[in-house]
Structure 1
Amino acid sequence: MKVKYLISVLVIFIAQIAIACPVCEKQQPKITQGLTHGVGPQSNWDWVIIAIISLITVLTLIYSIKYLIKPGEKNNDHIKQSILRN
């Protein structure tokens, strides 16, 4: 039951984000038209901020996957070693 509820909420949430209303769509620049609500970026500084935030997000994703796959702790006193020994 919880899985069905969670999937329903996710589908509704994604549908709300993915489709912009007609009024907002006319106000958007061509690159974001139909994707977002609101007025969109107002100046070139907004695009710089978006680029920096996107870069930080991508780097965070890359490093989180990297350290999830290969953490690199090899010290025998590390807490994971006590778990792995049992």
Structure 2
Amino acid sequence: MKKRIYTLLGLMLPALTGLACPVCERQQPKLLQGITHGSGPASDWDYVIIAVMVAIVVFTGYFSIKMLVRPGENTPNHIKHTILTLEDGSEK
């Protein structure tokens, strides 16, 4: 039980340091209040840039997980078969 409490505190404390202070919170637009420090976005292009970056990350994350779960390499001459085949010709 003690180990779980320490683990939970260890995971929560770094997140608390990222919350905005009251001064920074007043400078942020309503969408970002209480989330980030600093002066906030300089223009509307900042939101577009962030949206494009999020789309790229989601796209690459989806295909990375998809290729890890089901790679789809079924040809017998694929390089993975040279690793998975034992010296006597049988599969591992």
Deviation at 1:77, TM superposition (A): 2.5
CA deviations over 1:64-86 (Å, ceiling 9, x no partner): 12112111111223233232622
Q: Which amino acid aligns with 1:64?
A: S
Equivalent pairs, count: 80
Q: Which runs of 4+ in 1 moved over 3 A?
A: none
Cα deviation digits, residues 6-56 of structure 1 (max 9, x gap): x82x43322222x21111111111011111111111101111111111111
Bigger Rg, structure 1 or 2: 2
Gaps of 5+ in 1: none
* Gaps in structure 2 of 5+ consecutive residues: 1-5, 86-90
Q: Which residue of 2 aligns with 1:67?
A: 67
Q: TM-score, normalised by structure 2?
A: 0.72
Q: Which residue in the other structure is 2:40 paired with?
A: 40
State the alpha-carbon separation in 2 of the partners of residues 15 and 70 from structure 1. 37
Q: Percent identity?
A: 47
More contact order relative to length (CA 8 Å, sep ≥ 6): 1
Superposition RMSD in Å: 2.2
